[in-house]
Amino acid sequence: MVQRHARSAFGAAHAFPGGVLDDADAEVHEYCAGRSAADANRVLGIESGGLDFYVAAIRELFEETGILLATQARPVDDLAAVREGLNNESQSWSEFVRGCDACMLCDQLHYFSHWITPEHLPKRYTTRFFVAELPDGQIARHDERELTNSAWISAQDALQAGKDGSMTLHYPTRKTLESLAGHQSLGELVGWARACETQGVEAIRPVRPGATQ
């Protein structure tokens, strides 16, 4: 779990690492492994641009936590400097991917949930959730810019922290944690997420009490 900056739209809430699509995410599809464009579109239930979401998920995870779901044919000695360059916009993701001939492990991301912000809210998002196994030897560290804190914590403990007030959890985060908390092992969780991909993920869009849909 990561804690957003108090000045962000999420107001110091705890959430999962992630962010927004970048126009440049479409420039590096040829470096995606394990998912074709057609496969990504099918899994996400969209007509085009599915691989953009996988690229964005890998990019944002690296920018925010330093976890890299990719291999490098030409290894970079200082990934921390690359991450810093991405965050201060002195380097682009496409430059990094092409420069080290990266192979983004899109098949390691398992899609399991899709939330759409209620129509009455002034700021609206459509957010897709993926689960992935932490690569061996990697350590998550929050970026200290957009994120002010982070913690490895079980879904059950995070839910309890939300109840006792030590974590602020927005409704989609809490409901997502509830869906994760029912699994007793990583293998069980990944198996469930794969089943979600196979069966198809329905979008969730909450409505105000009394509102019509």
118 pLDDT above the threshold of 80: yes
Average pLDDT over residues 196-205: 93
DSSP letter string over 13-47? Answer: -EE-S-----GGGGGGGGGEES--HHHHHHHHT-S
Amino acid at 153: I
Distance CA 51, CA 56 (A): 9
138 pLDDT above the threshold of 80: yes
Distance CA 195, CA 129 (A): 14
212 pLDDT above the threshold of 60: no
For the chain, domain boundaries: 2-7+15-204
Average pLDDT over residues 104-115: 97
Average pLDDT over residues 183-207: 93
pLDDT grade for 188, boundaries at 50, 70 and 90: very high
In 31-58, which positions are buried (b, 16+ CB within 10 angstroms) versus exposed (e)? bbeebeeebbbebbeeeeebbbbbbbbb
The H or E element containing residue 102 is strand 102-105
157 pLDDT above the threshold of 90: yes
Distance CA 176, CA 199 (A): 18
The H or E element containing residue 195 is helix 186-199
Class of the 2-7+15-204 domain?
A: alpha beta
